[in-house]
Amino acid sequence: MQHRVAQMEHKITETESLLERQIKDLEKTRIEEIEYHMREQKDYNEELETRFIEEVAEPIAEIDSSIEVLQSRIEALQSRLESLEVGISDSYSYIGDRLRANAFNAIALVQNSHLTLREQKLSPLRAPATNTPIPGFPEKVGDIVNLNDAQLTSLLFTLEEDVGISQELKLDRFRAAIGIAQSVP
């Protein structure tokens, strides 16, 4: 009986040992299966990431690039618009100066057209382009005949009159430009 108990104990030990090996084999197989599924999941995740990059991230990058191009164009247009605004402002200022000078000069021409004596004081004209007093403008009617060619050229140029003519014609042209009749001595 002891022998039988010893055999049974031996059989139980062998069975336990066999069960332990089978459990270890099952655990190893299960671990390998889990590792296999994890690799598959990793591969699948990488594939999804690649597809995401191809299908979403790259188009977003292209959109970002397009936005940068558009922003650059908008900045260029804003710069051009600012330049145009400055140009328009300068043009308005220039036109305003010309209009004020023309109005002032129209009054001066009428006043000068009534002068008949050499001693009478001239109403000075203003430079049409800048609406500023004309440097060297004669004070009296009689001072006109004392102007030299360089002075006449400068005055006619400032009044935007033809300067490519003889001194005698310049003198006549200047008298007419400031409203003095040819009959005034």
- Say whether pLDDT at 157 is over 70: yes
Residue 46 counted as domain residue:
no
Bigger pLDDT: 182 or 117?
Answer: 117
Q: Residues for the chain: how many in total? A: 185
Rounded Cα–Cα distance for residues 22 and 56 (Å): 49
- Domain hosting 102: range is 90-178
Rounded Cα–Cα distance for residues 123 and 115 (Å): 10
Residue 21 counted as domain residue:
no
Residue 31 counted as domain residue:
no
Cα–Cα distances in angstroms (integers) from residue 86 to residues 66, 94, 128, 138, in the given order: 30, 12, 21, 37
Residue 157 counted as domain residue:
yes
Residue 5 counted as domain residue:
no
Residue 104 counted as domain residue:
yes
pTM (2 decimals)? 0.56
pLDDT digits (tens, 9 = 90+) for 84-104: 888 888 888 889 899 999 999
What is residue 59's predicted lDDT score, i.e. its pLDDT?
A: 76
Report the number of distinct structural domains present in the chain: 1
What is residue 181's predicted lDDT score, i.e. its pLDDT?
A: 83
Residue 13 counted as domain residue:
no
Bigger pLDDT: 134 or 93?
Answer: 134
Rounded Cα–Cα distance for residues 42 and 39 (Å): 5
